[in-house]
Amino acid sequence: MFKKILLFLKNSKIWRSLKVRLFIIMFLTGMLPAVLMRAGILENYENRAVDVRVSDVQTQLRIIANHLITYNYLQDTSSEVIGAELEQLSNLYNGRVLIINGNLKVVKDTYGISEGKTIISEEVIRCMKGSGTVNYDAVNRFIEITVPIVENVTLPQPAEDGSKSRDMVRGVMLTSVSTDSIVNTMDILSRKAMIMESIMVIGIFAFALMLVQVMVRPFERVTKAINEMKEGYRDEPISVPDYLETEHIVEAFNSLLERMKALDDSRQEFVANVSHELKTPITSVKVLADSLLAQPDAPAELYREFMEDIATEIEREDKIINDLLALVKQDKSVAEMNISVVDLNALTEIILKRLRPIARKKNIEITMISKRQVKAEVDEVKMSLILTNLVENAIKYNREQGKVEVSLDADHQFFTVQVKDTGIGIPEEYINQIYERFYRVDKSHSKEIGGTGLGLAITRSAVLLHRGSIKAESVEGKGTTFTVKIPLSRTLVPV
């Protein structure tokens, strides 16, 4: 049964409760001093009471011992005066007095039992040598005291040290006095202390219980507020400023909530943007088709012109869908990275070769500066995407006869690709927003350029998958420089 209770307590969650722990700590810290104090006071009292009793009895015994010599009691026990003194002493301390002569024979016993008997005990023999003894027996509740009966004898001739008399031990007074009265007082004290202690137990129990309730309440308020939020009753930030700790928890929770809200907002915005972007080409196609249908006898040239416009819109729709798919695919997981050692100089050359015809349409010159040969552990497809998007933008947002300069460099840890153009530039205030999905600085202009606003979002996500960084510097009207920095090896940089 006891084992079962222990097992239950061990497995029970109760010990993990802050309330229970606080309660136990408070209760013990409240009770421990009280218990220790009771034990300390009682023990102190006992020692002190025994000491006083011993010294009282010793004084009395010494006085009587002197009288014993005066009345020559060891030889003749008939003195009534001494008899009365002994009787008074034994009555006063509820004890027994034995008077033992130099032959260790009992000449007087106030109990009258041992008279005439010889006593050979360690204490008596030690006392015969001149030093009295004291023995306190707490279990049997008595104190045994021996006092030597000393006679001052005048020497026939002075001793070597010049003294004319010497103390001679003629016998021993052996007394045992009861300590019942001390024990009784201690019992009374102990009982009173117990009553006080019981009152304190109840008081401290109630106090600790109350305090724990009050102390833990802010934590319960935090839980309640979080639950309310979970169930949707409230959506304003929680505030429980009672403790620094609760404030920290609440702050952490609020910032998590804010992040979740921001994520939710951005998701909603993304969905809205996607719908809008996908709808625009379709609306155009519908308008074009409707206007053709409204003219049953439209000339073939008009048909052709409208059909060309429709094809352009469909192409744009296709491009948006492809970009979206690329973005979603990249968002999915890092595990889809297909890492191999890639010669970046060669890769850049190939990409530039592919893009030069587009650049030529605007008479833009593309140059490449290879500061060193760079081989790195990257995903070749994603790396191509990064380079293509950056160079494509550098062409798209360039002026006629502009320049694009691509440079490749590396140190022992990272390689850097820099794409520099002489184009329209990006206003300072928008420089951090260009990586947002569907973000375009100049919406109307972008449309005629043919951007979807997804290119840099894809690029940045691909750079991050390589644990790299991307940075843009721009002077409006002068040009833009994008710098991508990526670790040479996957193992070089910790996750």
Q: Under the rule (CB under 6 A), what is the footprint of ligand ADP?
A: 389, 393-394, 397, 421, 423-426, 434, 439-442, 446, 451-457, 480
Q: Is 187 exposed, middle or buried (0-12, 13-18, 19+ CB in 10 A)?
A: exposed
Which conformational region is residue 232 in: left (phi greater than 0), alpha (psi within -120 to 50 degrees), or beta?
left
- Cβ proximity to ligand ADP: between 144 and 392 the closer is 392
- Cβ proximity to ligand ADP: between 60 and 389 the closer is 389
- Cβ proximity to ligand ADP: between 172 and 463 the closer is 463
Which pair of tokens denotes residue 55? 């010294």
CB of 376 to ligand ADP, least distance (A): 23
For residue 154, give Cα distances in angstroms to 163, 164, 166, 167: 9, 6, 7, 9
| Overall residue count recorded for the chain in this entry | 495
> What CA–CA distance (Å, rounded) separates 388 from 479?
18
Comparing C-alpha atoms, which of 485, 475, 486, 393 is closest to residue 435?
393
Other beta carbons within 10 angstroms of residue 445's beta carbon come to: 12
CB of 246 to ligand ADP, least distance (A): 44
CB of 372 to ligand ADP, least distance (A): 25
Residue 342 parent element (H or E)? strand 339-343
Name the residue whose CB lies closest to ligand ADP. 451
CB of 474 to ligand ADP, least distance (A): 7
CB–CB of 115/106 below 8 Å? yes
Angle CA(160)–CA(164)–CA(165) in degrees, nearest 5? 110
CB of 475 to ligand ADP, least distance (A): 11
CB–CB of 124/104 below 8 Å? yes
CB of 398 to ligand ADP, least distance (A): 8
- Cβ proximity to ligand ADP: between 217 and 319 the closer is 319
CB of 270 to ligand ADP, least distance (A): 14
- Cβ proximity to ligand ADP: between 171 and 453 the closer is 453
> What CA–CA distance (Å, rounded) separates 54 from 142?
11
- Cβ proximity to ligand ADP: between 175 and 461 the closer is 461
Which pair of tokens denotes residue 193? 């202390």
> What CA–CA distance (Å, rounded) separates 406 from 383?
14
- Cβ proximity to ligand ADP: between 171 and 423 the closer is 423
- Cβ proximity to ligand ADP: between 340 and 444 the closer is 444
- Cβ proximity to ligand ADP: between 95 and 402 the closer is 402
Comparing C-alpha atoms, which of 399, 403, 479 is closest to residue 445?
399
- Residue by residue, DSSP assigns 169-232 as EEEEEEEEEE-HHHHHHHHHHHHHHHHHHHHHHHHHHHHHHHHHHHHHHHHHHHHHHHHHHHHT
